[in-house]
Every structure is written in C-alpha cells, then in structure tokens.
Structure 1
Amino acid sequence: MNGADRLCDELLANDIDVCFANPGTSEMHFVAALDRKPRMRCVLGLFEGVVTAAADGYARMADKPAATLLHLGPGLANGLANLHNARRASTPMINVVGEHATYHIRHDAPLTSDIESLARPMSQWVHRIEKAEDVGRDTAAAYEAAMSLPGVATLILPADAAWGEIPDTPLARTALPLPVPIEAGTMRKAVEAIRSRRRTALLLSGKALRADALEMAARIADAAGVRLIAQMSNGRIQRGVGRVPIGTVPYPVDMALEALKDIECVVMIGAQVPVAFFAYPGKPGRLIPDHCEVVELATRASNLKEVLSWLAFELGVKPDAPVTVSQPSTEWEALPDGDLTEDAIAIAVAQMLPEGAIVCNESLTSARRFFGLSHRSAPHDFLSLTGGAIGIGIPLAVGAAVACPDRKVVGLQADGSGMYTVQALWTQARENLDIVTIVFANRKYAILQGEMRAVGATEFGRNAQRMLNIDDPALDWVSMAKGMGVEAARATTVREFTELLKGAMARRGPFLIEAVI
C-alpha cells in the first residue's frame, strides 16, 4: 500500500469512480494505482481543458464529483479556463495535480512552478499533501470541500507522497457537514418582502432549477403574485413538457435592463445580483434598478429545495396546490425551405429532442432561439456556459454522457469556441458516447462582432475582420471529426439538416453535423 493506492481507495470509498485524466511522469505512481482499481473508470482527454470540462459536465448530471488527473502546474494551467466555468457553476470536482517529489523542488527543474498560485483563482479549496501518511486524511478533506461548498477542490500530490509506503488501514465514507442553515430572521425578511405588495422577483439558480424545486417556486410565485426568473447563466435547468417554464435574465444589457426595470425587490435563492457580463460606455453594470432591495435568502451551499419548502410554508402556500407546467405543442412553427438558418436549426432540434435528452449549449448567438422554444420540447436537462470562458461545449457533453450513458446528449456548438477543445471528439469516439454534436458553422466569432457594435464600433476594417472571421481558410468540421473517429456529415439546406438530425437521433454513438449557415 502506497500513497497513490490510498488516494484511489479514499475516492472510491466516497463513490468517486470516474477519473478524467491527462497524466505525466510525476503521476505515474497514481496511474499505476488506478490500474489496480478496476472499479475506477479512467477517461483520457487529449488536452487538459477537455479533462476539466468533462469533469464539470459529469458532476452537473451525476450530482457527485469526478476526479481529474493533471500534470504539474502547466497541465493544471491548460485546464484553468474550464475550471473557471466549473467554479462559476458551483460544480463539485476534485483535481489531483501531480507535483515533483518534495526533495526535488529545490532544484528548480524545468516543470517546477507555483501550483498553489495557479490553482487558487479557479478553485474554492486548495491543499498540498506533505507526506504519504497524510494522503487519506487530505483526500477526505478534498471530498468534503467539493461537496459542501460545493465547488472545485484542488489537491496537490508530490511524487514521493504517491510512492511512499503506508499501512493498509480500514476506510470509511467521509461524513459531510449539514447544508448551510437559513436563519429565521433571514426567512422573515424574505417573507416580508414578498408580502409587501411591491413588484418582487424570485431569482433562482443552482438546484432551485430542478423540476421539483421549480414546482415549489412556481406555487409561491402564483400564490404571492411575484415573478420567477432564472439567473443569466446556470449549470443545469430541467425543462420541457410537464415542467415549470422559466426564463433567464437576458444576456444583452439593453434587453436585461428592460426586462428588470420594474423590479422593486429581488429575493435570491442560490443566485447572485444580476450584472452585465462586461462594462459598456454609458450603461450600468448592475442590471436591477438602484432602488431595488436585494434579499439573499440562500446560497448554493444550502439545501435549496428545503429553503423553498420552508418559504412556501411561511407564506401559507399549499404543497399540493396546482402549478402551471409546459404543455405539448399541438403545432410547431413551420420549418422554412431552402438554405439552412439558425432559426431552422433551433426549431428542428426543439421538435426532435428525445425524452430525457441532455442539451449542452455553447452557441450563444446562433442557438439563441432554442431556449425559448425548448419549454415545449420533451423533458430534458439544459446545461450552459456559466463562466463565459469558451471551449467548454464538446467536452461538457463528454462528461454528461459518461454520467448518463442511457440518455441522448445533444451539443449545440459554435464553430469558433469548438476549436478550443476539438480534441474532445476523440474522447467521444474512444468511449463510444451517445452524443450528437451540431456545429453552427457561421465561420465567424459572431458574439464578438456583436460586442464590437455594442461598444460603438460599427465599421469593421481589414484588421477587425481578420480577427473576427474564421473563413479563410474555412474550417472543415466533417474532416476533423472523421479524423478523430466520429462519423460526420455536412448540411447546407433545411432538408439536409432535418434528415441528418433524424438519423442521428435514432442511432447510438457519436455523430457530428456541420450545419453551414
């Protein structure tokens, strides 16, 4: 028994049985230990950004952490962008980052770096293991932090702590602290705000956006006459027929200001005060009116379903009161003929989405209509970009598919951001994951063109065009996908796209559609 064995056993004792990995030399003892644990599923990513995003997608759907295995500081640094997204989604995750042996660090070898400084901005918890005897205790602490924050826990494993021999002692599952309680005074303040007859909104995020919690929130909203809104970016929303439809705070600043202009009080349940993604000349950063009162009832560290249940009780809302849910559509918007368009893709996907599907959306501009249509789709889970760091979509779908192998995963993917972690297609093929990836091939950074206009730069010269367009040369997604083992085809018309989508939904395994728009 060595430290690496103990780390694996501690993970398994806490039901962490998936490790997304891109290891290096310093982690070879941990790799050997993983090889001795057949219960642990190891999934290789060809880039660390794939590894961290896949762990994010897995935890969003499994409601438990996966482990990642990353090589020293540079390997961690390669995965930081998607760790930022995971942190913003409050995703439970345990990063195991290899480190030089403790006595080797003084030599300043080429891969030596300050791992703590790299990890801290994108992690809610960071710890360095000192010796092999500490591995079990420190791994249990990482699990506790990941689950109770909830969030990203980064554990640094020196090589000599991994290979050091230790006694084989009994293991037990780590006891977790109770969720952060809500004080009675805070609850009274929320109840008073809702009863004040002011224009009030319940702003939801985290597990308050699960189907059962949404039903309780909707009963409160109906009984008290308040609005129900989801935060702008959320890790997971349960949507579709039979579920409570809920809109989000719009991304464009002007639209968000218009949507929230009449709000006089906002009660936040797992959410944060709505703010713009960026600053714009002459526009406010905070999206609610200055006079709007903010009541933070609960953070994501609380049991949000219980918080909503308590709030309903205090307001006298019956737990079995009828609630309005989305109904099946008797007549979908007609698909146009001719060349393929963004709207046609959104309509077709919303219509054909199978029950129980998981939608991973990283096409903020091209797929903008899908969310509004999807409340009439079959029941599904909607996973989106939370932290704004692009390159999450394709590997996010990998993690979701590993967590839920019996459910179809549909990726709505912008072509520009897809290139950040295109290597995830190889993992889709290797693991034979049931994922349909739809690439919106507009061959430009459309969202950045919109941002240029938002700051007043409406004329695009040669330099701007060459930085915002990706059409010279045009990306060949079909060739790239096939080169990584994923079957793929291109659609340029509505008819071609609907036929490809119908076939992809009916089969199992990875398939990519390059939708040229």
Structure 2
Amino acid sequence: MRSGIEVCFANPGTTEMAFVAALDEVPGVRAVLGLHENVCTGAADGYARIAGRPAMTLLHLGPGLANGLANLHNARRANTPVVNIVGEHASWHLPYDAPLSSDIAALAATVGTTRTVRSRADIGAETIAVIADARIHLGVSTLIVPADYQYARATDAEPVPYEATARPVVSADRIEAVARQLREAGRRATIVVGGNGLSRRGQRAAGQIAAHTGAVAYSETFPATAERGGGLPDLDRLPYFPERAISALAHSDVVAVAGAEEPVAYFGYENVPSLLCPAGSLTHLARPHEDAEQALVDLALALAADGASMTAIPSKETIDSGAKLTGDFVGKVVAARLPENAIVSVEGGTCGYPFYTAAAGSVPHTVLTNTGGAIGQGLPCALGAAIAAPTRPVIALQSDGSALYTTQALWTMAREDADVVVLIAANHSYNVLRTELSRSGNAEFGPQAERLTSLDDPLMDWTALAAGFGVPAYRAGTAGELDTALSKALADGGPHLIEMSL
C-alpha cells in the first residue's frame, strides 16, 4: 500500500494462495474478485485511468495471464500503469513440465515489462521494482513469483511512497518550431490531441490555438481519458474509417499531434493509404509519453493565443419521446441526462460516436474509450472507474456483441455495489462486421455471412441475464422510455442495466 497500490483485482488459483492469505494479513489493499481474468485486467485499466495510480491484478499462471491479455493490450495502448502479479509453479516443481506450465514471461512481454523472482531474498526488491516500472514507463508491468517464494517475508527492501511520475517537458525549441509552422499554415493546419493533452487545461489551450490560427482541432480517435463538456472546446474524435479521416486531414499542410501517435488506419484496405496525414504534413508537438498538456499551454503562449477559444454550443434540440431508438437518439438522450462529473466508458460505435458528439455541450464529464481495439473493455473499465471514484456516477455505453466478451463484470458490479449504469445497444448483430463486409464489396450477405454476424438466433434477453448476475434491469424501446429508465437508475444508485432495443 505504501507503494501506491490500494486495490487488487484478482482471479487467483492454487499457485497464488500465499498472496490471498497476505491480503488478510496486511491491511489497506482492497481485494476485488473478477470471474474472468479479462475482467480483472480491464478493471485495473479503468481504475488507473481515473485514479492516476496503478491497480494490481492477481492472476493464475500462464493461462490466467493469457485470459487477461486482451485488456492488457488495451492498457498498453492507453499508457496505463497496471501491475500484474502472476503465480508460478514452485521452483522445485518447474523441471517436471506440469500440465499448466507455460512461458509466462514470453506472454507478459507482449504487453509490457516483466520481472521474475529468482529467490526468496529477491521478493521485496522485485515487488517494489515492478511497481516502479509501471509508474516510470506508464504501462503494464508483470511480476512472476514461484509459489514457494511467495511465503518469504519482504524485509530486504523498504517500499517507496508512490508519486506520479512527471512527464518529460517539451523543449522551448520544439514549441517555437511548431508555432512557426502553424503561423505559416494558418487555416491549412490540424491539431490532433491525445494523452494528457485531453485534460481540461490542455483542451482549453488547444481551443485557443485553433481559434487564433484558424486550425482545425480533433481528439485522437480512441482517447484513453478525455474530459468533455462544461464549456470545453468541441474536440470531436478523428473519424475511425480511414477514408473519412483522410478527407478530414486532406486540407492540412501541417498536422500537429500533441500526446497522440501519428494517425494510422486501424486496418489495411486496398488502395487506401495506411498513413492518414498528407505527405510531409506531420509534426510532433508532444509524444504520447510527454507532457502534452503543458506543451499545448506553452504553444498557446508562444502564439499569444490567450483570447477567445472555440467553444462547444449546448444543444437545445428537443427529442420526441415516442421516437424509436437509434444510435443518434441514444447519444442525445444520454448527453441530455448526463450527471455532472459522470464517467462514461464507451465501447461500440453504434451509440458511442453519436454520444461523444452530442455531449460536447453537456455538463463536465470524463470519457474512457477502447484504446487498443481488443473487444471486452467497456464493462470492466467502467467497473474499475467506479471503484476508483465511488462518488462519481459511471455509465457504460456498450454494444451487445462486445459486452458478451466480459459479461461477468456485471456480477462484480453487483457484489461491490458499484455505481454503474450499463446501457446495452441491443441490435442483436455484429454490426461493425456487417459494415466491414459491405466495405469489402459484399453488398448482399450469403447465409454463412448472415449467420456469422447475427446474434438473434436465439435472441438474448439482457434483462434476464443481468438479473441472473444480481443487477436490476429495464428495457427501453423509445427515447422516452430510455430517459425514464436512465433517470431512475441514476437516482437509485448502484449497478443497473438498461437494454436499449435498436
């Protein structure tokens, strides 16, 4: 706990029983049980994004780690500090290649740094070092501990009190170089903001820069954590599909990225460029690990852009309460009903994109998105966020197909009485795959393609599924029904699920 770890998201097994016992012996670390490892790793990611400090996972051998790798991939892409403790067979049992033996270090190395305890004497120092790795590198760090070494007392090293690592500051020379480029480009420039540049302070500076120079400003397509609403500039997300992103950037002689990677197509398509910026236009104001927030503030000062800022205009559009639900209507209803300082975990494009756009003029809130594209992040991320910030309401805006990857998170939400309202966009299909099939020239689906992208045979009952996990649930088919159900769920507190029939 003195090293900053306050929560352990755990799915332990035989080789981790010493750690389970230690959680009772050493007070101060809250243990949260997940019914699948990918719930634990996703929750740790969501917790760390909101808390600003690492969470720990406790996982069982290589197969347990493998089960959690998808959301660790997302955490790596989000530059989230997560510490994994993975048990290993007893040191004297390792030579026998037991059925659960595997190369744990090789698996862990795909998502971050890895350390292995080699003796009882090393356990204290290695535990402290793995926490430091996550903090310093802003990423995933894994410690592998043989079962017989876990019983050693960590008396050889004193924990270092946790302090957030200061991000490297961008040099004045780079600030001035980008300022010069923006002055010359004027309206033929675009700013793409990510990382800690999407703080309230960073976005205000980006808005001032855009208003002063005439540049267009976007958020990166999948931000780890983005502040929205409350008078902030409307930095909409750079479009997902490459053709639309290329079109959005096509006018730009300069594309300045601050806290984001270079915009790249998510997938390769024939005759579509993988790199989305016009040739020669890319310039880096701040790399993802650097202090993009301060770089934007310094750039605004260098440009003397301290006056008017682009500002989102609150929507006054009325919504027909009897209207059948669509992605656009869901986005507008949630944006209108959003509580102040809410956290919204978004996974799925059906409602996620419309909400992000509609909520620009809403009350202040925080949005978490699926940074790495590995499906099954939304529900665990919402769970972790709710544990990190128990006084803030959390909404999980989720598509039905992706929710099924980590539905077990509902049980942990109920057990922990997490203040999460889960909104399931139930169109009973893998809609994104149908879109991709259409993009590949398959205008008409054959019976196999239809069956591989449909979730309606048999039709899932999300309200019954939620009730089975101990979460109260409602069904909404119109904008008015959604508004009523969402208002009740937010007022009652605790976990709720609303199945939105689209």
Verify same fold: TM over 0.5: yes
For the Cα contact (< 8 Å) 2:421–2:490, is it kept in 1?
yes
CA deviations on 1:264-283 (whole Å, 9 max, x unpaired) are 11122111111111111221
Change (3 A) 1:465 1:13: same
Equivalent in 448, 457, 464 of residue 442 of structure 2:
457
Tell me which amino acid in the other structure corresponds to 1:179: R
Q: Work out the CA distance in 2 between the residues paired with 1:170 and 1:85.
A: 32
Determine the structure 2 residue equivalent to 1:353. Answer: 338
CA shift, 1:168, in A, is 6.7
Determine the structure 2 residue equivalent to 1:25. Answer: 14
CA shift, 1:360, in A, is 0.7
Q: Work out the CA distance in 1 between the residues paired with 2:277 and 2:157.
A: 55
Q: Work out the CA distance in 2 between the residues paired with 1:102 and 1:158.
A: 6
The answer as to 2:387 corresponding to 1:398 is no
Q: Work out the CA distance in 2 between the residues paired with 1:513 and 1:489.
A: 5
Tell me which amino acid in the other structure corresponds to 1:487: P
Equivalent in 25, 48, 51 of residue 36 of structure 1:
25
Change (3 A) 1:183 1:509: same
Determine the structure 2 residue equivalent to 1:492. Answer: 477
Q: Work out the CA distance in 2 between the residues paired with 1:174 and 1:440.
A: 40
Q: Work out the CA distance in 1 between the residues paired with 2:136 and 2:286.
A: 14
The answer as to 2:68 corresponding to 1:82 is no
Secondary structure of 2:353's counterpart equals: coil
For the Cα contact (< 8 Å) 2:350–2:425, is it kept in 1?
no
Determine the structure 2 residue equivalent to 1:428. Answer: 413
Secondary structure of 2:240's counterpart equals: coil
The answer as to 2:294 corresponding to 1:326 is no
For the Cα contact (< 8 Å) 2:121–2:156, is it kept in 1?
no
CA deviations on 1:59-96 (whole Å, 9 max, x unpaired) are 11111110111111000000011111111111111111
Determine the structure 1 residue equivalent to 2:201. Answer: 212
Identity of aligned residues (%): 42
Aligned CA-pair RMSD = 1.8
For the Cα contact (< 8 Å) 1:58–1:402, is it kept in 2?
yes
Which consecutive unaligned segments of at least 5 residues does structure 1 have? 1-11
CA deviations on 1:336-394 (whole Å, 9 max, x unpaired) are 52533332222211110111111111121244311110112211101111111111111
Q: Structure 1 residues 251-260 or 131-140, which shifts more?
A: 131-140
Q: Work out the CA distance in 1 between the residues paired with 2:433 and 2:144.
A: 37
1:292-307 alignment to 2 at 5 Å?
292-307=280-295
Tell me which amino acid in the other structure corresponds to 2:421: V
Secondary structure of 1:332's counterpart equals: coil
For the Cα contact (< 8 Å) 1:20–1:68, is it kept in 2?
yes
Secondary structure of 2:382's counterpart equals: helix
Determine the structure 2 residue equivalent to 1:222. Answer: 211
For the Cα contact (< 8 Å) 2:74–2:373, is it kept in 1?
yes
The answer as to 2:433 corresponding to 1:448 is yes
Q: Work out the CA distance in 2 between the residues paired with 1:398 and 1:117.
A: 29
Tell me which amino acid in the other structure corresponds to 1:127: R
For the Cα contact (< 8 Å) 1:55–1:68, is it kept in 2?
yes
Tell me which amino acid in the other structure corresponds to 1:61: I
Q: Structure 1 residues 292-301 or 30-39, which shifts more?
A: 292-301
Secondary structure of 1:296's counterpart equals: strand
| TM-score normalised over the length of structure 2 | 0.96
Determine the structure 2 residue equivalent to 1:8. Answer: none
Secondary structure of 2:64's counterpart equals: helix
Equivalent in 94, 119, 134 of residue 108 of structure 2:
119
Q: Work out the CA distance in 2 between the residues paired with 1:64 and 1:149.
A: 12
Determine the structure 2 residue equivalent to 1:313. Answer: 301
Tell me which amino acid in the other structure corresponds to 2:129: A
Q: Work out the CA distance in 1 between the residues paired with 2:312 and 2:285.
A: 27
Determine the structure 2 residue equivalent to 1:192. Answer: 180
Q: Work out the CA distance in 2 between the residues paired with 1:177 and 1:428.
A: 31
For the Cα contact (< 8 Å) 1:335–1:347, is it kept in 2?
no
CA shift, 1:310, in A, is 2.6
CA shift, 1:474, in A, is 0.6
For the Cα contact (< 8 Å) 1:435–1:511, is it kept in 2?
yes
The answer as to 2:271 corresponding to 1:286 is no
Q: Work out the CA distance in 1 between the residues paired with 2:248 and 2:190.
A: 11
How many residues are treated as equivalent by the alignment? 501
Q: Work out the CA distance in 2 between the residues paired with 1:280 and 1:171.
A: 50
Determine the structure 1 residue equivalent to 2:226. Answer: 237
Determine the structure 1 residue equivalent to 2:395. Answer: 410
Q: Work out the CA distance in 2 between the residues paired with 1:317 and 1:498.
A: 40
CA shift, 1:220, in A, is 2.2
Which consecutive unaligned segments of at least 5 residues does structure 2 have? none
Secondary structure of 1:287's counterpart equals: coil
CA shift, 1:287, in A, is 1.4
For the Cα contact (< 8 Å) 1:257–1:288, is it kept in 2?
yes
Q: Structure 1 residues 305-314 or 281-290, which shifts more?
A: 305-314
Q: Work out the CA distance in 2 between the residues paired with 1:351 and 1:375.
A: 11
Determine the structure 1 residue equivalent to 2:358. Answer: 373
Equivalent in 462, 485, 489 of residue 477 of structure 1:
462
Q: Work out the CA distance in 2 between the residues paired with 1:166 and 1:120.
A: 25
Q: Work out the CA distance in 2 between the residues paired with 1:160 and 1:496.
A: 56
Change (3 A) 1:176 1:249: closer
CA deviations on 1:389-431 (whole Å, 9 max, x unpaired) are 1111111110010011011111111111111000000000000
Q: Work out the CA distance in 1 between the residues paired with 2:209 and 2:286.
A: 16
Q: Work out the CA distance in 2 between the residues paired with 1:176 and 1:436.
A: 30
Q: Structure 1 residues 245-254 or 292-301, which shifts more?
A: 292-301
Secondary structure of 1:133's counterpart equals: helix
Tell me which amino acid in the other structure corresponds to 1:411: A
Q: Work out the CA distance in 1 between the residues paired with 2:433 and 2:262.
A: 25
1:254-293 alignment to 2 at 5 Å?
254-290=243-279, 292-293=280-281
The answer as to 2:319 corresponding to 1:339 is no
Q: Structure 1 residues 341-350 or 419-428, which shifts more?
A: 341-350
| TM-score normalised over the length of structure 1 | 0.93
Q: Work out the CA distance in 1 between the residues paired with 2:400 and 2:212.
A: 44
Tell me which amino acid in the other structure corresponds to 1:439: I
Tell me which amino acid in the other structure corresponds to 2:101: T
